[in-house]
Amino acid sequence: MIRHIIALISGALTVAAIVYMAKLDIEAEKLKKIEEIIEKSKLEVPVAKTTQPIQQQQEEEEESEEEKQLKMLKEKAGNMSAFEVSPLYRRNCASCHGVNGNGAVGPKLLGKSKDEILQALKDFKSGKRKNYVMYGLLSNMKEEDLISLAEEISQFDEKLKAAQ
């Protein structure tokens, strides 16, 4: 009788371990997909050749009229903010949290302290707080970038009030 109970418990634990491992595999696949999306979204920046004179490089890099207009529209769209934000914030945060931190897809960031924001960023990066998008964005970010973002975001409320 005891052997049957032990066998039953052992079987139940085995099934539970298999289910747990399957869930971990699913989570790992999600992280892998997020990583792939982030990699695809990275922009390659061409490096200028230093063997040619700068004036010659500028002549070769002249943009067509359509490219100039497109560039102007992108810059205008990126600057539709009540105040100037850093490229780091614009690139990593603005699409979800808004160009002024008012929230869009992601929550509103206005009114939060530097320490509160920095702790949240660290928690997302470490996985303590679960959000695959935030984890994907922050996983390769340096500590000084996190501090810089926290400092900048903590000043949004003041900047917004000053701009009005």
The reported pLDDT for the residue numbered 78 is 46
Question: Could you give the C-alpha distances from 122 to 46, 51, 88, 129, 137, in angstroms and in order?
Answer: 32, 43, 16, 9, 12
Number of domains forming the structure of the chain:
2
In a domain, 93, yes or no: yes
Domain that holds residue 28: 1-42
Contacts of 148 (CB under 8 A, 6+ apart): 86, 88
Q: Is the pTM of this model over 0.75?
A: no
pLDDT grade for 86, boundaries at 50, 70 and 90: confident
Question: Could you give the C-alpha distances from 107 to 26, 62, 78, 90, 128, in angstroms and in order?
Answer: 26, 41, 19, 16, 18
| Same domain for 86 and 164 | yes
In a domain, 151, yes or no: yes
| Same domain for 95 and 38 | no
In a domain, 156, yes or no: yes
pLDDT grade for 55, boundaries at 50, 70 and 90: low
Alpha helices in 127-163 (DSSP H): 132-138, 143-154, 156-163
**Average pLDDT, rounded, for the chain:** 78
CATH number of the domain that residue 132 is part of: 1.10.760.10
